[in-house]
Amino acid sequence: MNHQRYVNQSLLLPLAMLVFASCTSSALLGARMILLGHHHQLYLVWNLFLAWLPLLFALAACWMEQNGRPRRWPFIGAATGWFFFFPNAPYILTDLIHLGSKSQRYYWPDLVLILLFALTGLVLGFLSLFLMQRMVAHRYGWPRGWLFVAGMAALSGFGIYAGRFLRWNSWDVIFNPIDLLSEGLRWVIAMPSEPRGFILPVLFGVMLFVSYLTLYGLTHLQMNQPVHPLIDNAPES
């Protein structure tokens, strides 16, 4: 078995789990809409679809990298698409703002539902980030790979803030770049008088980096570890 085939097969399980999580989340939302007779939370399905896009872009970029075409325009397009759509994956966490008051009848079921969508979106984003980190590390070494992760976490923190509070979309970069640049400049100028415009993106970025680091550590545990995981070689009695 060559290395390329091994890498592709190693992705089958997490991809299958993410498909399962996406289908389960959507099915629960569908059941909720049928039981209550309204479609107010369909935005969750759309946001989950947007969360899948960076993973698809990352998979495309990895495929081109493995097939010796990392400098062609399709690769650049896939990497650029991943860069601009990556914040959409963790963005679903901010959909918790739609919960409203705890006194509402369906507050707790809605909380669980949104968290399920958000967790799925977050893992989708982290898997795509891992694939891109691995490509950077393969070319430039793991220290720069982790520097890439930290930089993307920071930029995504600002992207999440821009999407939730400034109502920007990823495609505004293509269809509305002038207004986007103008609003971005006003945002930067207003930061001294409105520190929330800087503090919240930083907090979002820190949350993403710490969450990714934690998940990275957990996924590197091995199933064939000894029964006593804190002891490498337990003495025989």
Q: Is the Cβ–Cβ distance between 34 and 62 less than 8 Å?
A: no
Computed over every residue of the chain, the mean pLDDT equals: 85
Q: What is the pLDDT of residue 196?
A: 82
Q: What is the pLDDT of residue 225?
A: 56
Q: Is 221 exposed, middle or buried (0-12, 13-18, 19+ CB in 10 A)?
A: exposed
User: Residue 90 above 90 pLDDT?
Assistant: yes
Mind listing the pLDDT tens digit for each residue in 167-224?
888 777 777 777 778 887 888 888 888 888 889 999 999 999 999 999 999 887 765 5
- Tell the residue number behind the tokens 């337990």, with chain if given: 234
User: Residue 98 above 60 pLDDT?
Assistant: yes
User: Residue 32 above 70 pLDDT?
Assistant: yes
Q: What is the pLDDT of residue 237?
A: 43
Calpha distance 69→82 (Å, rounded): 17
User: 80: pLDDT confidence band, cut at 50, 70 and 90?
Assistant: very high
pTM of the model: 0.85
pLDDT (mean) for 161-172: 83
Q: Which one, of 2, 19, 237, lies nearest residue 127 by Cα?
A: 19
Residues in the chain: 237
Three-state secondary structure call for residue 27: helix
